[in-house]
Chains A and B, each alone.
Chain A
Amino acid sequence: MAKDEFQSRQFKVVGTRVPRPDGLDKVTGRARYGADMTAPGMLFGFCLRSPHAHARIRAIDTSAAEAMKGVKAVVTRADFTVTPQDQGTRDILDNVMAGAKALYDGHTVAAVAATSRSVALAALKAIKVDYEVLPHVTDVDEAMKPEAPVLHEGRQQESVPEGYSQNVLARSQYGHGDVEAGFAKADLIVERSFKTAATHQGYIEPHACLASMGNDGQGDLWCCTQGHYMVRNTCSAIMGMEAGRLKVTASEIGGGFGGKTTVFLEPVALMLSKKSGKPVKMTMAREEVLRASGPTASTSIDIKIGMTKDGKITAAQGDFRYQNGCFYAMNGALGAMCGFAPYHLENVETVGWEVVTNRPKAAAYRAPGAPMAAFAVESVIDEMAKELGLDPIELRLKNAADEGTKSAYGPTYPAIGLKATLEAAKAHPHWSAPLGPNQGRGVACGFWFNFGGDTCVSLMINPDGTVSLSEGNPDIGGSRASMSMMAAEELGIPYEQVRTVIADTATLGQNEVTDGSRVTFAVGLATIKAARHAIEIMKARAAQLWGIAPEAVEWVDGAAQPAGPNAGKFPPMTLKEIAETASNTGGPIAGHFEVNAEGAGVSFGTHIADTEVDPETGAVKVLRYTVFQDAGKAVHPDYVEGQLQGGAVQGIGWALNEEYIYGEDGTLQNAGYLDYRIPVASDLPMIDPVILEIPNPGHPYGVRGVGETGIVPPLATLANAVSRAAGVRLTSLPMSPPKVLAAIKAKG
């Protein structure tokens, strides 16, 4: 086994619940988020947005706005003269500043920078846009029909068969075995169709940035983002700059959940700054966040499962149609890959569809594409368990994927924790607790891939023996604490001796976005290896002082010592002592590590929920909720629990209440927190997290990402609980009171 792969060990720091280094700033109001940045001479920038769902832009007259006192720059698409090389970046440019057409309600068509907010907002009103309103489409099934209004010509990939609208951009297919033969062996076949509404990540911090472009072709940008390297690369491509000329610094980030893995305001702010010659700050209002950032896909899904009467799945089939907003995204493919991933299947076939509509381009939302797929698949499994009189956990255990299973999307699993979560759920008191009238219990499983990716870390041994760790991933949920812990663990020093900072793009090499639940895994791996690098240097320094070979030195409990009696007799030399003499032994000591991390280790979870349905109103109350998830190794258990709890509650909102509502005219009807209502404290019970630790073979400490899987099972868990409580199967999300009431009444 290679040294960097998992090795069992006794942890001293990892697994404890230490205070986070950014805690004080965040409880005192000192922490600086995206909108808290200012610069001398700063202007205020705002966007003018399309009121139409689909419209050709015939002309834009900005002359009146430009003539207003205090207005320093007005930009439209005409100012963006560079055409980015790849289609993905061209789509981003088209999304942040409309070209020939406005493609959704809220699409930016122009922007202003002025000396005050009030002047800027007045100037937006003075811009005249001549629109030719076009027919629009916002529903996924409607958008696929040949007669649907078409957003883009000529973007359809060859994978799409004939007979579909050009809005269908791609089709992908996964699976193995022979599903028809499998269905022939089944005692029971159930086929159902499901729909889920688009939802928003709902981060409390709106998008914000501060851009400063000089006429020397260099720029600085501060913004709240999940990945400042992504911001740099995307913005420099759009601005026609070399990446090295744009320095991006990530502010503290007030939530992202995938929604801050792309850019919205940043290129516009840079262009306004370039044109005005002054720093420009832009912030989105909440209404703009909902209308024009990156909500998730809405879906329409068909599932067919065949089973023997003792509960063995003989065949599984799924058709996953995902509405991605106005540009290509691969959510349908991810749904098609994830839906059946928890099961060991002989015969499985799934198809994913990527469909564009007149809605904002979908961004990632915590395990993008997977929760809706799990909702559909796990609902059918629950219905079949009920029909066959089988325990839903036993049925899942009978079919659960394990080490060596060929997954529904192709690869064969290494050691995984699905069965452990199911066994833990079965043994938990929640599963056997009594239920009252109108109450129902649901259970469901969920899967997410997890990711590694480009990672670069530097670890500096300071002259006084403290350690500074620089990493390049915005800390979205306590990762600075986790990195300090892993560095301290490896170096054999106290946690307090290490301080981790998020470096800007000019300070470290490329780092992938904080996404794919990758940070604790990949940055943690790089941190451990950077610490090992520093240890090798420190061992060599001690060897030099002792006059022995570096190979004759070992590192134990934060100190160099001779490795065995033959190496010589020297007292151990601590990290602090080596640091203090570093100037005399060769100069500063720093470890670093760069990697495209692989071996992220897939993740599984099982959730149980109890709900009570009011038969008079259809309102659903969540009574009890328990999450079981495999963390590989929980570095900081508090923050692992926090991920499990937060993911579950986002899923509860998605299942019961949250929904993008578009009117007949294609405009968003509920662009505010009052009408797009996310769960509040009084809606919820405590969320009980149970962490399982099945080590990931691909990480030195066994760590798996935990951030995303928690949102995968709740949609199905709630649907199964509500369906059992109401005595009728709910197949459309959200399960809002009118929908639940209608289902109860239809049942009779």
Chain B
Amino acid sequence: MSRIHVSTTINGDDVDYLCEAGDTLLDVLRDQLDLTGSKEGCASGDCGACTVRLDGRLVCACLVLGAEAEGRSVETIEGMAEGEELHPLQRNFINKAALQCGICTPGILVAAKDLLERNPDPTEEEVRYWLAGNLCRCTGYDKIIRTVLETAAEMRGAA
């Protein structure tokens, strides 16, 4: 099967790959680039475990074709920390026990970071609706929502 050559930017780095026409961006990230932090929970855009940013907008990587990343910028969980320095959301997810099994965590962190960049002071309801596309089956969401709200307050205090 002939493959498509794609040049794109992932977490700030130039990346080239070949993909089949039917490969999703998630397939490429996971199977070709070893960026397995983005998870496949459903491959139908319902669970949000593969949430990434494409040109600054949240998408499910399973609903984007690998070929569509040509010339664009992709941000994944692997690019969230600055070297050793964790993003405050990452640090607080550990310290406030906002994860159990952790499979939904990368997608939730990418989505929550995007929220706080758009809205540094969200209400509980805004956080709940923003993350409604990210399924978590372990936590009942309580500690996730609290941690996002507390991190938002912390980041506002530091700003």
Are B128 and A28 within 8 A (Cβ)? no
CB of A546 to closest CB in B, whole Å: 42
Q: Is the CB of A19 within 8 A of B94?
A: yes
Please state if B141 and A681 are interface contacts (CB–CB under 8 Å).
Answer: yes
Q: Is B86 an interface residue (CB 8 A)?
A: yes
Task: Please choose the segment from A88-96, A448-456, A519-527, A637-645 that sits at the chain B interface, where 4 or more of its residues have CB less than 8 A away.
Answer: A637-645
Is B145 interfacial (CB-CB < 8 Å)? Answer: yes
24 contacts between A and B (CB under 8 A): A26-B105, A27-B93, A27-B94, A30-B37, A32-B36, A33-B103, A117-B27, A117-B31, A201-B137, A203-B137, A206-B40, A206-B41, A255-B137, A283-B40, A286-B42, A286-B46, A478-B97, A478-B100, A639-B97, A641-B97, A649-B141, A680-B131, A681-B131, A684-B140
The residue on A at minimum CB distance from B21 is A118
A740 at the interface (CB under 8 A from B): no
- Please measure, in the bound complex, the distance between the C-alpha atom of A104 and the C-alpha atom of B44, giving whole angstroms: 24
CB distance from B89 to the nearest CB of A (A): 8
Q: Chain B 8-44, CB within 8 Å of chain A: the 1/0 string? A: 0000000000001010000100110001111111111
CB pair B97 A681 closer than 8 Å: no
Cβ of B141 and Cβ of A28 under 8 Å apart? no
In the complex, the answer to whether B90 meets A645 with C-beta atoms within 8 Å is: no
Q: Do residues A642 and B143 form an inter-chain contact, with CB atoms below 8 A? A: yes
- Contact assessment for A646 and B100 in the assembled complex, using a CB-CB cutoff below 8 Å: yes
Q: Mark each residue of chain B from 83 to 105: 1 if its CB lies under 8 Å from any CB of chain A, else 0.
A: 00010001101111101111111
Are B20 and A286 in touch, CB under 8 angstroms?
A: no
Q: Which of A149-157, A213-221, A671-679 contacts B (4 or more CB under 8 A)?
A: A671-679
Cβ-based interface call for B81 (8 A)? yes
Give the chain A neighbours of B42 by CB distance below 8 A.
286, 672-673
**B152 on the A face (CB < 8 A):** no
Interchain nearest-CB distance for B69 vs A (Å):
18
Please measure, in the bound complex, the distance between the C-alpha atom of A292 and the C-alpha atom of B112, giving whole angstroms.
33
B22–A118 CB distance below 8 A: yes
Interface check B61, CB cutoff 8 A: no
In angstroms, Cα B135 to Cα A20, docked, is: 22
Closest A residue to B124 by beta carbon equals: A686
Whether B78 is near chain A, meaning CB under 8 Å from some CB there, is yes
B43:A285 contact, CB within 8 angstroms: yes
B120 smallest CB distance to A (angstroms): 19
Evaluate contact between A204 and B128: CB separation under 8 angstroms: no
Q: Mark A111-123, 1 if CB is under 8 A from B, else 0.
A: 0000011100000
Contact with B along A4-30 (1 / 0, CB 8 A): 000000000000010110111111111
Looking at the assembled complex, report how far the CB atom of B124 sits from the nearest CB atom of chain A, in whole angstroms: 8
Chain A residues, Cβ within 8 Å of B125: 682
CB distance from B148 to the nearest CB of A (A): 10
Apart from the given pairs A31-B102, A686-B146, 19 other A-B contacts in the complex at a CB distance below 8 Å: A26-B105, A29-B36, A33-B36, A36-B36, A117-B27, A118-B1, A201-B137, A202-B137, A203-B137, A205-B39, A255-B100, A255-B103, A476-B101, A477-B101, A638-B143, A645-B142, A646-B138, A649-B140, A681-B132
**Cβ of A687 under 8 Å from chain B:** yes
Q: In the complex, what's the smallest C-beta–C-beta distance from A364 to chain B, in angstroms? A: 15
With A29-B78, A681-B131 known to touch, is A642 a contact of B20 (CB < 8 Å)?
no
B10 CB → nearest A CB, Å: 13
Partner of A681, one of B41, B101, B128: B128
